Amino acid sequence: MAKKPARTGDGRMPGDPTRQELIESMIRVDHAGEHGAVRIYEGQLAILSGTDAEAPIREMAAQERRHLDGFDALIADRRVRPTLLSPLWHVAGFALGAGTALLGPKAAMACTKAVEEVIDDHYAAQADKLGDDEAELRAMIEEYRTDERAHRDTAVEQGAEDAPGYEILTGAVKAGSRLAIWLSTRI
């Protein structure tokens, strides 16, 4: 693991985002991601309520709601503009959740596993860029990262890897998640 910078933005090169731009883009993309996660679980629950998959999905959804509330507060406190793509993520998240749930509980869990693996890497990279001056934000990201890894593990326990077309499904979800991160960081 790389040594954490003493101050966020230390070692930046000409043309790299400023410290403030870096922090704002992190908050913006994480807010968008947590909003998308809430919507994915809402879509899954719209289809899978009343099944054995409902309880673990509700538990994960509650944690994602707490994460979103945390980033809602940061957006307001730090006056960060949310991504302009929020309406798209609102619809796309629900559609992804409902769509995978229509394929069955294991496919819904494969979606969860794929998303959480991308987010685990994303949060780890962010935490590594944050210096001691942003210890509180780093701690928040690391706490949420722990939850996301637990969601991934729950998805595996619930049969994610047994979903029909697992490799294709998770590959597509991971590619979409990475694209959403890239876009939300910038727009």
Residue 113 located in a structural domain = yes
Contacts of 164 (CB under 8 A, 6+ apart): 103, 104, 106, 107
Provide DSSP, the chain. Answer: -PPPPSSTTTTPPTTSPPHHHHHHHHHHHHHHHHHHHHHHHHHHHHHHTTSTTHHHHHHHHHHHHHHHHHHHHHHHHTTPPPPTTHHHHHHHHHHHHHHHHHT-HHHHHHHHHHHHHHHHHHHHHHHHH--GGGHHHHHHHHHHHHHHHHHHHHHHHTTGGGSTTHHHHHHHHHHHHHHHHHHHHH-
pLDDT for residue 17: 73
Residue 67 located in a structural domain = yes
* Average pLDDT of the residues in 93-120: 95
Residue 26 has pLDDT above 80, yes or no: yes
* Average pLDDT of the residues in 106-118: 96
Q: Mean pLDDT over all residues of the chain?
A: 90
Residue 167 located in a structural domain = yes
Residue 8 located in a structural domain = no
Instruction: Report the CATH number at residue 43.
Output: 1.20.1260
The band of 31, judged by pLDDT with boundaries at 50, 70 and 90, is very high
The band of 5, judged by pLDDT with boundaries at 50, 70 and 90, is low
Per residue in 124-171, pLDDT (tens digit) is: 998 888 888 888 999 999 999 999 999 999 999 999 999 999 999 999
Residue 10 has pLDDT above 70, yes or no: no
* Average pLDDT of the residues in 88-113: 95
12 versus 162: the higher-pLDDT residue is 162
Residue 2 has pLDDT above 60, yes or no: no
Range of the domain at 155: 19-186
Q: How many domains does the chain have?
A: 1
Residue 127 located in a structural domain = yes
pLDDT for residue 129: 86
Residue 46 located in a structural domain = yes
Per residue in 40-79, pLDDT (tens digit) is: 999 999 999 999 999 999 999 999 999 999 999 999 999 9
Residue 5 located in a structural domain = no
